Chains A and B, each alone.
Chain A
Amino acid sequence: MNLVTTGTVLLGGIAALDATPVGQTLLSQPLVTATALGLLWGDLPTALAVGVVLQILAASTLPVGSRTPEDYATGGVVGAGLALAVGGSAPYEQWRDAAQLVGVFAGMLAAMGGVPLIKWQRRLNEGLSRWTEAQLHAGHEGALAQAHGAAVALAFAVGVAYCALWLGGGTLLLRAFTETESLRLSRAWTLLQPLWLGFGFAQLLHAFTQRKLTRAGVFGFVMLVAWLTLVMGS
């Protein structure tokens, strides 16, 4: 395993930590991790193309209350990482486009697959919290720090392992397929990229407008003015 691959899977662990257990600063968002991976692999445009689509979908996936939303922290790393691994250095554009499509699909699937994994960690944390309470009753004050250390280590290890599994398996299974079917996949990407972006914009618009007509009017007015300015100004 080379430095780039090691860096990619470690980023999966860091993203898994930032998403919920530590900080929640949005370092784990797909656009941020895709940028880091683009710089690491030396191909920012491929990583960002995947990162933008996954970011728009991630932005409308919210960890409200006790809901376990799709895990776009590892999904973002898997998506951009796989796109870079199967077509980042490809010699022609269709292959790179095909890799981006494969990356977005893998990112979404990894995000969905991450849900049961997070639920499993949360169930393990139930035992940990009971243990902590028992230790505190026994006068062991350090149990709080130990419990947090254990939970951080678990989340990091799961994030690293999950990303490694997806990246290893995905590269092995999909590299040849992406190359041989690059023409069809790149055509699908040409249509699906704007479709996904439009779909994601609508989710965000719904969050911003909250069914208020004035806000929807502001959106429509700005869109028209911006479109006219762009077209007339060019």
Chain B
Amino acid sequence: MTPKLPTRTLLAMALRANLLQTTWNFERQQGVGWAFALHPALKRLIPDKAERCERLAEHTAYFNTQPTLASLAIGAVAQLEEQRAAGTGPDAAAMQRIKNVLGSTLAALGDRLFWFSLRPFAAALAVLVAITRPASPLAAIVLWVTYASLHLGVRFAGVGWGYREGPSVLGGVLRSSLETVVTLLSYAGCILLGVLVAWGLAPGGEPRSIAVQSALAAGLGLGLITAQRARPSPTQWALGLGVLGVAAIWLRQA
């Protein structure tokens, strides 16, 4: 079957994918955003307005996945909608099942790639720049470019990949490539953190006071212990440590 959707329609869908989470809610999660992103494709595939509105309403049902890789699912479902418009695609129930499978598969990889690897890596790289160049705005640029280049690249190209490959988009080469990126980022992150801790102990080669070095080491040790459990959150721990620290200084100097 010859693809019907031109590049500008795929681009419009990718642009709308930026709003996938705008109406995020506990009931349908990304459902309404999903329907909004799919609208340009349906507008082209279903000329009848009443039928199109019914199809859009169907797409406002529950959907959730990692928001960057969602583009792949949007493209894949656009291909299925094209088949459906030609009378050969899945029915509404099958479409919902495919969406659910795509959502959970993409989330499993996307969470590890974007949330557990790329975001911490970008932050660590930017913090290294910030503490070595404390009077420069470069750290913010490094953070944004490191994350957004891959995030926006996948978001915009992903709709096209999904549209060409259909629901099997995450099989084969793309999946193994993204898995490789996850592994590489994890190793690069460990290297970066090694440099960061060394710099924290002796910035520019000048060792800091024993008190500061001990505080850094104590934070690192405590952090590794608390990281084993999700609750309390890192912020709650950090706040508690801060309150204890201030109280200790207050009592010492009372």
Interface residues of A (CB under 8 A from B): 20-27, 29, 31-32, 34-36, 38-39, 44-45, 48-49, 51-52, 55-66, 69-70, 101, 104-105, 108-109, 111-112, 122-123, 125-126, 128-130, 132-133, 136-141, 144-145, 147-148, 151-152, 155, 183-185, 187-188, 190-192, 194-210, 215-216, 218-227, 229-234
Contact = CB atoms under 8 A, between A and B. Distances in A.
A187 B117 CA distance: 35
B235 A111 contact: yes
| Main SS class of interface, A | helix
Contacts of A138: 53
Interface string B230-254: 0001111111011001100110010
CB-CB nearest 4 A-B residue pairs:
A202-B223, A234-B205, A198-B219, A222-B194
A25 B144 contact: yes
Interface residues of B, number: 107
Given A129-B32, A191-B212, 5 more contacts: A59-B123, A108-B238, A129-B23, A152-B22, A210-B116
Interface in B174-194: 185-187, 189-191, 193-194
A55 B126 contact: yes
Nearest to A124: B25
Contact of A44 (B123, B135, B144, B201): B135
B56 interface: yes
Interface stretch (B79-87, B147-155, B157-165): B147-155
A32 to B, nearest CB: 4
A83 to B, nearest CB: 14
A232 B202 CA distance: 11
Given A222-B191, A222-B195, A195 B241 contact: yes
B206 to A, nearest CB: 6
A122 B56 CA distance: 21
A13 to B, nearest CB: 14
Given A52-B127, A66-B29, A192-B241, A184 B216 contact: no
Contacts of B206: 234
A79 to B, nearest CB: 12
B235 to A, nearest CB: 5
A125 B202 contact: no
A201 B196 contact: yes
B28 interface: yes
